[in-house]
Amino acid sequence: MLDSTRDQAIRDAVAKLYDTYPFPPEPLLDEPPPGYNWRWNWLTAYHFCTGQLPDRQDIRILDAGCGSGVGTEYLVHLNPQAQVTGIDLSAGTLAVAKERCQRSGADRVEFHQLSLFDADQLPGEFDLINCVGVLHHTPDPIRGIQALAQKLAPGGLLHVFVYGELGRWEIKLMQEAIALLQGTRRGDYQDGVKLGRQLFATLPENNRLRQREEERWSMENHKDECFADMYVHPQEIDYNIHTVFGLIDASGLTFLGFSNPQIWNIDRLFQQNPDLMERFADLDDRQRYRLIELLDPSTITHYEFFLGCPPFPPPNWSNDTPQHNAIPTRSPCMDGWDSRCIFNCDYQILNLTEAEWQFLKLCDEQKGRSVQDCMAESGLALEGVRSLLAQQVLLLSPGGVG
């Protein structure tokens, strides 16, 4: 009884925060939002996790903790055959989400005022569940992720984003400092924002907390909604590799990989030092992840990863035994196509060679042709195909898109 009373108090406090400061505070548009996030696109997310394209696109998507509907809106527009459901605790934030989607024409969506723990009230299962920035704000993240796992369909994907303790160390200190100075006014979020801004403006310029805020967070925190979400949130649990894999293990789902893999590439730290690389190779995966966050703690501000509910199809491509009869498809998450200078899936500039550009053109113009045929006509070598795959501008499937 005490636990349920405490949990409800936390939920009420979180709902009050987001009623006061709907989040994220992105502007409402009368058109589809610009850009994309490949993690919200069923084709690119599925290919990232399995190495091939799904056999269907008429899927059900759940945005669990949808907030003001920024992600929900993208999920609708990036998945034109999907039916999308958004749930959130805050009535005020849901009102913004509904208006956002209505104005941009995202009409294949429904919203419900529910917590993660009440997801079982929704009918059926979901092929893709998006849970970004939510679990760490619940009183019981393990119960939350287990509730979502129960709603994931076989072959489905769950994308999760939770905070990392090492890269947010200064944030945690400032959160506690603001809470101490607020005293009995804690829970007055407007007062907390005002107090926090006073603190940053008053601390010496060489103060570590002020420096970290100015270097890393101030651009987004000029909006009170962002500042409040970061510094006066009533509930936050931060993770390290050990505890994040404890959360993953408790879900009962299969870990399919971090969705920001470049952060977990040891090459950027070891620079191919042969002795260090040899020692690194002796570690298991979790030890490798832990080593990276120990050596570069300020970079690990969060963990974003995919979990899945088996079964999954075997990959149709590997670097060692490529399947030349696989069907190539150009990724839908490229900005600037058909220029030779594009933004890739992570919005990094990518300058395509003539052969790479010709290969991708063939994918568009002559759908159903094999990798081998496109290689022969474009002049792109096998290494070039692998490079396009690694940069997620090329997707493969034994039989194309379903």
Residues 128 and 256 both lie in one domain: yes
DSSP letters of 272-323? Answer: T-HHHHHHHHTS-HHHHHHHHHHHSGGG-SEEEEEEE-S--PPPS--SSS--
Assign 33 to helix, strand or coil.
Answer: coil
307: Cβ contacts below 8 Å, ≥ 6 apart: 149, 157, 158, 159, 160, 248, 251, 253, 254, 255, 256
Instruction: Fill in the DSSP letter of residue 147.
Output: H
- pLDDT above 80 for 303: yes
Nearest to 392 by CA among 337, 322, 324, 345: 345
Please say whether the beta carbons of 189 and 20 come within 8 A: yes
Between CA 373 and CA 324 the distance in angstroms is 8
Residues 186 and 158 both lie in one domain: no
The pLDDT score that the predictor gives to residue 367 is 82
- Would you say residue 320 lies in a domain? no
pLDDT (tens digit per residue) in 87-100: 999 999 999 999 99
- Would you say residue 313 lies in a domain? no
- Would you say residue 266 lies in a domain? yes
Residues 356 and 299 both lie in one domain: no
The pLDDT score that the predictor gives to residue 74 is 96
Nearest to 350 by CA among 363, 334, 374, 361: 334
The pLDDT score that the predictor gives to residue 69 is 97
pTM to 2 decimal places: 0.93
How far, CA to CA in Å, does 245 sit from each of 45, 104, 117, 258, 310? Answer: 21, 38, 20, 12, 18
| 244: confidence class by pLDDT, cuts 50, 70, 90 | very high
> What value does the mean pLDDT take over residues 306-326?
73
> What value does the mean pLDDT take over residues 98-127?
97
- pLDDT above 80 for 282: yes
Count of structural domains, the chain: 3
The pLDDT score that the predictor gives to residue 123 is 97
Provide the terminal-to-terminal Cα distance of the chain, rounded to the nearest Å.
49
Residues 161 and 122 both lie in one domain: yes
Q: Last residue of a domain, which of 193, 209, 231?
A: 231
Residues 106 and 178 both lie in one domain: no
The pLDDT score that the predictor gives to residue 128 is 98
Residues 144 and 286 both lie in one domain: yes
For 377, the domain range is 327-397
pLDDT (tens digit per residue) in 69-85: 999 999 999 999 999 99
CATH number of the domain that residue 152 is part of: 3.40.50.150
The pLDDT score that the predictor gives to residue 401 is 41
Between CA 328 and CA 322 the distance in angstroms is 12
pLDDT (tens digit per residue) in 204-235: 999 999 999 999 999 999 999 999 999 999 99
Question: Rounded mean pLDDT of the chain?
Answer: 93
- pLDDT above 90 for 62: yes
Please say whether the beta carbons of 127 and 60 come within 8 A: yes
Strand bridging mode 254-258 / 302-308 = antiparallel
Please say whether the beta carbons of 304 and 134 come within 8 A: no
- Would you say residue 19 lies in a domain? yes
- Would you say residue 191 lies in a domain? yes
> What value does the mean pLDDT take over residues 266-292?
96
- pLDDT above 50 for 321: no
- Would you say residue 319 lies in a domain? no
| 133: confidence class by pLDDT, cuts 50, 70, 90 | very high
Residues 100 and 123 both lie in one domain: yes
Residues 91 and 130 both lie in one domain: yes
| 149: confidence class by pLDDT, cuts 50, 70, 90 | very high
- Would you say residue 253 lies in a domain? yes
- Would you say residue 315 lies in a domain? no
The pLDDT score that the predictor gives to residue 399 is 52
